[in-house]
Structures are given as structure tokens and as C-alpha cells.
Amino acid sequence: MSTHLPLLPGTLIDGRPATLGVLGGGQLGRMFVHAAQAMGYETVVLDPDPASPAGRVSHHFIQADYRDASGLAELALRAHAVTTEFENVPAESLAQLAAKLPVAPMAEAVAIAQDRIREKAHFARCAAASGVAPAAHAAIERPADLAAVPEMLLPGILKTARLGYDGKGQAHVATRAELAAAWERLGQVPCVLEQLLPLAAECSVIVARGRDGQAVSLPPQRNLHRDGILALTDVHDGNLPAAQARQAELATQRIAAELDYVGVLCVEYFLLRDGRLVVNEMAPRPHNSGHYSIDACEVSQFELQVRTLAGLPLAEPRLRGAALMLNLLGDLWWGADGLPRTPPWAELLALPGAHLHLYGKREARRGRKMGHLTFTGPDAAGVREQAQRAATLLGLEAFRR
């Protein structure tokens, strides 16, 4: 590798400005690009979509498939270090780039996150030290595995081992017959059957870890999902029981350390009604539940992604106050009459503590993440009041603690 870390912002390397690359041009890439540019780096994005949100704001854009040899070669020439903005980028592409320049996260960590079977095995290995295990589960890779499923796993949730996100590739099953039928509908691809658990809450922790092992964490986030898609994230002192919040932080640190992880990692958890914490899944990148950090923390998850990639010191992302983030889906751009509409931005931005982020996507589709709206303030009650007002203006279902 010709690049020497730390890669300092605003410097010239072989006559070229220090440049950070990203595989993926979606909203996470866009926010990474904004953070990198604010710190003085040039950026380059590789994505197959000519209208990708990140590609349109980057200094350089390479329109290519994630496996395209010439596109990857050009990325390696333009960038001095490369990251990714989503977990389904081919791990082999990251490995190919890593032979030429620093890459974070590493290909092996991404490969584990792409496969629920390997991911569960990693969580189980970490559980002895962290005390936080995954839900009881079984891998289903062949017809014989259906008959071997323990009774305790029913009712359960059948999930494809690969390429599932935002509730896709999943099915609730109550009986063996339903399990067999669901596996058939999912194409008999490798799956994981997880025991259905009595949930009290869902939460996540985002950790940033450097090559030297230094790690910092964002405050634990309490999340609400609707139809498998994150609807809101609530962050403030007391949003979760203190013992479980601390346990989730330590478990996330352990999961990252056991991977020798470099970069930003999000781990999602279930808090059960009996107080137990169960680890659900991880994302080797910044996460939707951490977007509030742009406005509410002293260092955002995207600046931390820049710092881990460039080999810079990691600052503690302290929360300035309370924050609540609402996801803005494409449904909001359509009225009850089925006609397109513009959401009431003026009324929303008149609310105290409102911070609007739109992702630059040209087409609003139902279920598509178009932006987010974060409310910040000195106390949780005031922030929730303004967020409830925003939900009413947007026509969203009211939310409760």
C-alpha cells in the first residue's frame, strides 16, 4: 500500500489532494461525503446508478458495477483509502481494493455481516464474554433441516441468510407446515429460523473502532420499527434501563474487538419483557438509527467513519441534549387520493429544534427512505412534544414510549 496513515485532511499525496473513496452512492454515502468534504478531503464514489445521491455531490464519480474490474481499478487510483456505505457490497471487491490501499471495514467483517448464519455464530462466540447471546435459532440450508428444527423455535421468524433488509426476506411461522411453505416461498435459499421473543423494546449501539484498537460509542438508541422499517429513534438519558444500556455498549465493543474491526459498526438488540438483552444483527457501516448524531452529538457517526478510515484520533461522540429522529419515507410524497404532494416543510421547519435532511433522491416511492427529521432540545419531554406535532403534520401514526 502506498498510502501512509494517518491520512491528514487538506494535504497533497503524490501531487493529489487526500481523497477518500466509498463503494455505494446512497444516502449513507452522501452523508459520508459531506463529512469528508467538511474536514478537507476530496471524495470519489463508485456506484452503478448515474443519479446516485452520493455520486452527485462527490468530487469524482465512477459509474460502474461493484464487481467491475476497471471501475475498481479507477477507484484505487483516485482514492487513498476506501470505505463502504452498505453491507451488501461484494466482500471480494473490498479484498481486491485492500491489496492496493487501506480499506475499512475489512472484507471478512463485511462477509460475516452478509450471512446471518455466520453472524449468529460470531455473536454466540462473543456471548461468553459479553453475556449477550442471539435468540435461539437454527440454520435451514436443506430439506432435512426442516425436520430437525426444535419445537422451542416455533412460533418463529424465518429469515433469508443473505440480502435481507428492512423486513424483506422474512416470514412469521407458527407451525412446521407454515415453516416448510415459507421456505418454499423464499426459494429454498439458506435461512435462519429464530425463536419469536416477547419484546419490550428494540435498541442499537454504534461503535467506531480504529486500527489501533481505540473505540468510542454513540449513546444507545431506542428504536421503533413499523412494517420492518425504522420509524423513529429516541436518544436521551434514561431512554433505556441503565444496566441494559451499559450491557449493550460493552457487548458491541466486544463484537467489534473480536472481529478486529476498523470503521463504524452498528449492532441491533432486542430488550425482552423479562429484562434480558438479545443481540439481533449488525451492520458494518453507519446506520439509520445513528443519523440523529449529525445534529445532536459533538461528533457524528459519519465524521467517525472518516476518522477511522483516515487513521485519525477518535473523539467521544457526546450527546448535547435529547434527540428524536423520524424517518421520512416516500409515502409522505403521496396524498390519500393517490396524487403526488409536497410534505409541509414550512410548517415542520417552524417547529423548535427541527433539523431536516433530504437525501437527494429524484423519485419518491412508497417505503423508500427519502430523508429524516431530527428534533433536538435540552429535555426529552420537549423534544417528543415537537416530534409528535411533526408526526401529526405529516399524517404519521402517533408514537408512544
CATH superfamily of 136-195: ATP-grasp fold, A domain (3.30.1490.20)
Predicted TM-score of the model (pTM): 0.96
Q: Where are the alpha helices (DSSP H) in 311-379?
A: 345-349
> Do the domains 12-103 and 199-394 sit in the same CATH topology, yes or no?
no
Say if CB 332 and CB 343 are below 8 A apart: yes
Nearest to 101 by CA among 202, 1, 239, 220: 1
Cell digits of residue 277: 438483552
Nearest to 294 by CA among 230, 217, 372: 372
Length of the chain: 401
* Displacement of CA 367 from its chain's centroid (Å): 17
Please tell me whether residue 140 adopts helix, strand or coil conformation. strand
Say if CB 80 and CB 19 are below 8 A apart: yes
Highest CATH level, class, for 12-103? alpha beta
Residue 139: count of CB within 10 angstroms of its CB: 17
Of the CA atoms within 13 Å of residue 189, those in its CB half-sphere come to: 15
Please tell me whether residue 280 adopts helix, strand or coil conformation. strand
Q: Say if residue 172 is exposed, middle or buried (CB neighbours under 10 Å; 0-12, 13-18, 19+).
A: exposed
| Number of continuous H segments (helices) and E segments (strands) in the chain | 12, 19
Cell digits of residue 362: 429524484
Highest CATH level, class, for 199-394? alpha beta
d(CA 327, CA 231): 5
Q: pLDDT of the chain along its 401 residues, tens only?
A: 457 899 999 999 989 999 999 999 999 999 999 999 999 999 999 999 999 999 999 999 999 999 999 999 999 999 999 999 988 899 999 999 999 999 999 999 999 999 999 999 999 999 989 999 999 999 999 999 999 999 999 999 999 999 766 567 899 999 999 999 999 999 999 999 999 999 999 999 999 999 999 999 999 999 999 988 999 999 999 999 999 999 999 999 999 999 999 999 999 999 999 999 999 999 999 999 999 999 999 999 999 999 999 999 999 999 999 999 999 999 999 998 999 999 999 999 999 999 999 999 999 999 999 999 999 999 999 999 999 999 999 999 988 76
Nearest to 308 by CA among 224, 217, 177: 217
- Beta pairing partners, 221: 204
d(CA 178, CA 175): 5
Domain extent listing, the chain: 12-103, 136-195, 199-394
d(CA 222, CA 194): 22
Beta strand spans in 137-228 (E): 137-140, 156-160, 170-173, 191-195, 199-209, 215-217, 221-226
